[in-house]
Amino acid sequence: MPVRGLQAASTPAHADDAGLEVDQLTVRFGGLLALDEVSLAVAPHEVVGLIGPNGAGKTTLFNVVSGFVRATRGRISWRGRPLRGHRAHDLGRLGIARTLQGVGLCQGLTAIENVACGAQPSLHAGLGSALSGLWRSSREERRIENEAAALLAELGVADCSRRLPGSLPYGVQKRVALARALIGHPRLLLLDEPASGLSADDIDDLSSLLHGLRERTSVLLVEHRMDFVMATCDRIVVLNFGEVVATGTPAEIQASPEVTEAYLGDAVSAVQSRTAEGSADAAG
């Protein structure tokens, strides 16, 4: 019972007007149907939440978009062009960045070094720097380091830049991972459970941060924390057993008794009752 179907995306005139379009994507792992003709779209500057119970296929969808897993059937287009046959290392060049479920930082590198690892070498690095000598590559390194420092400052964790991830609180590590994704200037950010393990304050901050980021990127996020999803996303896609069972605004998803009962259960009920309490407080 879809709340609202896939937005019928008319063919954009320019790549800048086109985002991610996933069309009838199917993934089989042997006998397991992990994704079953899943269609969804993320427009430029849009924040879309992908939710559903454990094993619904959320990370698998990220893995296909990221080039880690091949689809059995279906199509993906990105900025008006087919996205197929790509590998995970092509993502930066394509303008897509991803954070992993968990944190996924290199434990032997400092925070700023981890962020710098996410930078795409510009044309000046690689062959260019090999030909023109060390001066150019050290200039490139400085540029990346300055950018990494600026991003850590923007995310409010500048003071951790020379520390190793293991010595940092979990919420700070998550921000470092986000900075690493942002340094490549992505036009699409895939965030797998960005709020997991965060305190309520950190979750509020992350939600504001993502609202601010929409100027520069669209976001597709997987998340189990329903309060965060409802506060952060423009649209939500609900997956269950590999199928899209609903698509709609947070209000539409929360208002759908079938979705809340069957797939979200107490999580959304809790959000609804908090929202109701908030309204009552505001009214009173």
Min. distance of Cβ 148 from Mg ion in angstroms?
A: 28
177: enclosing H helix or E strand: helix 170-182
Nearer of residues 39 and 120 to ligand ATP, judged by Cβ: 39
Closest by CA position to 182, among listed 210, 162, 161, 158: 210
Question: Min. distance of Cβ 59 from ligand ATP in angstroms?
Answer: 3
Per rule CB under 5 A, is residue 66 in the interface with Mg ion? no
Query: Which residues in the 40-59 window bind ligand ATP by CB under 6 A?
Result: 52, 54-59
Question: Cα(129)–Cα(149) distance, rounded to whole angstroms?
Answer: 23
Cβ partners under 8 Å of residue 176, min gap 6: 105, 111, 114, 115, 152, 155, 157, 160, 165, 168
Q: Is 276 in the site for ligand ATP (CB under 6 A)?
A: no
Only one residue has tokens 């070094």, namely: 113
Q: Which of 3, 20, 22, 34 binds ligand ATP (CB under 6 A)?
A: 34
The CA distance from 116 to 95, in Å, is 16
The nearer residue to ligand ATP, 39 or 137, going by C-beta atoms, is: 39
Q: Any contact of residue 59 with Mg ion (CB under 5 A)?
A: yes
If binding is defined by CB under 6 A, does position 29 make contact with ligand ATP?
yes
Nearer to Mg ion, 55 or 95 (CB): 55
How is residue 272 written in tokens? Answer: 């609804």
The distance of closest approach from Cβ of residue 92 to Mg ion in the complex, given in angstroms and rounded to an integer, is 22
Interface with ligand ATP (CB under 6 A), residue total 12
- Does 63 sit near Mg ion (CB under 5 A)? no
CB nearer to ligand ATP: give 101 or 272. Answer: 101
Residues 39 and 25: beta-carbon distance below 8 Å: yes
Pairing of strands 73-78, 81-82: antiparallel
Q: Which is nearer to ligand ATP, 52 or 248 (CB)?
A: 52
With CA atoms as reference, report the closest residue to 242 among 33, 50, 70.
Answer: 33
Q: Which of 276, 279, 252 is nearest to 264 (CA)?
A: 252
Binding mask 97-136 vs ligand ATP (x if CB under 6 A, - otherwise)?
Answer: ----x-----------------------------------
Pick 196 or 272: Cβ nearer Mg ion: 196
**Which residues of this chain interact with ligand ATP, rule CB under 6 A?**
29, 32, 34, 52, 54-60, 101
